C-alpha cells in the first residue's frame, strides 16, 4: 500500500520526478567512478604484479625496479644464496638497458631486457619463436613498426651510440624471431628482449654495465610459504638489495599516488551530498504541495508511521532508480576516462585507473539508498507532524 501511494505521488509529477532521477543518476555515476578510482589503481597494480605469479622482486639497495640505471653485481653468487632458501621455488634475473638500431640513416632507440626464456615473466609471446638462440631478439609491435621489419629479418643492434661521432658500440647482428607484448611496458614504449648472456656480451665495452649483472630479480615462492618472512630473510642475506613483496610495492605506490585517492574521496563525497540535497528538495516540495492531502489521511485515521514510511519510500524510489541508471552511465564514463588516463606516457598498458569491482558497485548503491532514506526522513517527519485542524482550515481557505 505504501509503495503504491508513493508511486502514485511520483507519477503525478512525471517531469519533475524524471529530472530528479536524472540528477541522482549523474551523482550516482560520479560516485561510482570515484569509488572505482579510489580502489581501482591499487587493485589493478596488484593484479599486474601477480600476472606471472612472482611474489617478490629484488632491486639494487634503495631503489625501485628499473627506477635507476643501478644494477646488482655477481648474479651467480646472488642466485647461489637465494637457492639456499627452500621456500624459493623460481628465480628470474633480468638485465635492463637501452639499444640503438640504425635504420635508413636514422637512429631508432628502444629499451631492452636480458632474460632467461625458461623463467621469464616480462612478456607474452604473440607470434614466432622465443629467444632460444644467442643471436635471437624478440620485439614488440611498436618497435617492429619503427624498424619496418618482419620476423626473420636480421638487424644490427648496439648498446651504445655517440651522437658526435655517429658511431655505435657493442654492436651485434640479431635475428628477429618473434613479436611479444611486454606486460609491464607502456603503450608508447618501443621494447625488445634477448637472452641475458647476449646482452652482457654486448655490454662488455661499457665499463658501468660490464660483468655478470642484473637490474632485477623476480622470485616465485612456494604457495604455503610466508612471503614476508622470505623477504626479510633475503634482505638479511643480501645487504646490497632491496626486496619488495606485493604488499610493500603497493604501499609505496599508495604513497606516490595518494592524491588520486584523496581526490576521489572528496569528489565522491560531494556527489553523494548533491544527490542527497536533490532528493531532499524534491520530496520536501512534494510534501508541501500535498499538505492538505496528508492532513485528510491523518484525519481519517492513517497513522503517523504510515505517512512517514510512504514519504521515505518516495525518496528511496528516486535514489534507487537513479542509482541503476547511474551504474550504466558510470561504467560508460569510467571506460572513456580510463582510456584518456591510460595514455599517460610511461604507464604500463595493463594499469587501469577505473577498475570495476562488484564490491565498489554495491558500496555506491548502498550509499545512495542510505542517502535516499536520509533524504526522506526530514520531510516525512515534517509531514507527519502537521497540525491536522489548522492544515485543513488553510487548505479550505486557499
Beta strands at 172-182 and 136-139: parallel, antiparallel or unpaired: parallel
369 CB neighbour count, 10 Å cutoff: 15
- Determine the Cα–Cα distance for residues 245 and 54; give it in Å rounded to an integer: 9
- How much of the chain exceeds pLDDT 70, in percent? 82
| 191-195 mean pLDDT | 94
- Give the CA distances from residue 241 to residues 86, 107, 199, 235, in Å, rounded to whole numbers and listed in that order: 20, 35, 22, 7
CA-wise closest residue to 369 among 317, 334, 333: 317
Chain segment 219-244, per-residue pLDDT in tens: 999 988 899 999 999 999 999 998 88
For residue 344, the model assigns a pLDDT of 64
Decide the pairing of beta strands 191-195 and 106-115.
parallel
Residue boundaries of the structural domains of the chain: 2-48+256-397, 62-239
pLDDT at res. 20: 78
Give the distance, in angstroms, between the CA of residue 156 and the centroid of all CA atoms in the same chain. Answer: 38
The answer to whether the beta carbons of residues 186 and 111 sit under 8 Å apart is no
Predicted pLDDT at 266 = 83
Average pLDDT value for residue range 53-58:
88
Q: Is a pLDDT exceeding 90 seen at residue 278?
A: no
1 pLDDT exceeds 60?
A: no
| Bridge partner residues of 58 (DSSP) | 217, 243
pLDDT band for position 345 (cuts 50, 70, 90) = low
CB atoms within 10 A of CB 118: 9
Residue located via cell numbers 628477429: 176
**DSSP conformation class of 204:** G
Band the pLDDT of 304: cuts 50, 70, 90: confident
Residue whose entry in the numeric block shows the C-alpha cell 665499463: 207
Across residues 362-377, what is the average pLDDT? Answer: 77
Segment 157-192, tens digit of pLDDT = 988 766 666 667 778 899 999 999 988 877 778 999
Q: What count of residues does the chain have?
A: 398
Residue 77 CA, distance from chain mean position: 37
Amino acid at each position: 500500500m505504501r509503495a503504491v501511494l508513493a508511486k502514485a505521488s511520483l507519477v503525478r509529477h512525471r517531469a519533475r520526478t524524471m529530472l530528479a532521477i536524472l540528477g541522482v543518476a549523474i551523482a550516482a555515476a560520479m560516485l561510482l567512478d570515484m569509488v572505482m578510482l579510489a580502489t581501482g589503481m591499487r587493485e589493478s597494480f596488484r593484479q599486474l604484479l601477480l600476472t606471472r605469479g612472482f611474489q617478490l622482486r629484488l632491486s639494487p639497495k634503495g631503489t625501485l625496479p628499473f627506477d635507476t640505471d643501478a644494477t646488482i653485481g655477481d648474479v651467480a653468487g646472488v642466485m647461489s644464496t637465494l637457492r639456499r632458501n627452500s621456500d624459493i621455488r623460481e628465480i628470474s634475473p633480468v638485465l635492463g638497458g637501452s639499444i640503438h638500431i640504425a635504420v635508413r640513416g636514422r637512429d631508432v632507440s628502444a629499451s631492452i631486457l636480458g632474460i632467461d626464456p625458461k623463467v621469464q615473466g616480462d612478456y607474452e609471446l604473440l607470434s614466432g619463436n622465443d629467444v632460444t638462440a644467442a643471436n635471437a631478439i624478440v620485439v614488440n609491435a611498436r618497435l617492429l613498426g619503427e624498424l619496418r621489419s618482419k620476423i626473420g629479418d636480421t638487424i644490427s643492434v648496439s648498446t651504445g651510440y655517440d651522437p658526435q661521432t655517429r658511431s655505435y658500440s657493442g654492436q651485434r647482428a640479431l635475428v628477429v624471431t618473434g613479436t611479444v607484448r611486454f606486460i609491464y611496458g607502456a603503450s608508447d614504449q618501443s621494447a625488445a628482449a634477448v637472452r641475458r648472456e647476449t646482452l652482457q656480451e654486448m655490454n662488455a665495452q661499457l665499463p658501468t654495465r660490464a660483468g655478470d649483472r642484473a637490474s632485477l630479480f623476480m622470485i616465485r615462492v612456494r604457495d604455503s610459504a610466508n612471503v614476508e618472512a622470505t623477504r626479510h630473510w633475503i634482505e638479511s642475506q643480501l645487504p646490497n638489495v632491496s626486496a619488495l613483496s606485493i604488499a610493500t610495492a603497493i604501499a609505496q605506490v599508495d604513497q606516490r599516488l595518494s592524491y588520486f585517492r584523496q581526490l576521489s574521496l572528496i569528489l565522491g563525497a560531494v556527489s553523494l551530498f548533491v544527490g542527497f540535497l536533490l532528493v531532499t528538495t524534491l520530496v520536501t516540495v512534494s510534501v508541501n504541495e500535498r499538505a492538505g492531502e496528508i492532513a485528510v489521511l491523518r484525519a481519517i485515521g492513517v497513522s503517523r508511521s504510515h505517512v512517514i514510511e510512504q514519504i521515505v519510500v518516495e525518496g528511496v524510489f528516486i535514489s534507487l532508480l537513479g542509482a541503476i541508471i547511474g551504474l550504466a552511465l558510470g561504467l560508460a564514463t569510467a571506460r572513456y576516462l580510463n582510456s584518456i588516463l591510460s595514455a599517460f606516457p610511461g604507464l604500463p598498458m595493463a594499469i587501469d585507473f577505473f577498475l570495476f569491482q562488484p564490491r565498489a558497485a554495491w558500496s555506491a548503491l548502498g550509499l545512495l539508498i542510505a542517502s535516499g532514506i536520509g533524504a526522506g526522513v526530514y520531510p516525512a517527519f515534517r509531514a507527519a507532524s502537521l497540525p491536522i485542524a489548522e492544515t485543513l482550515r488553510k487548505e479550505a481557505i486557499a
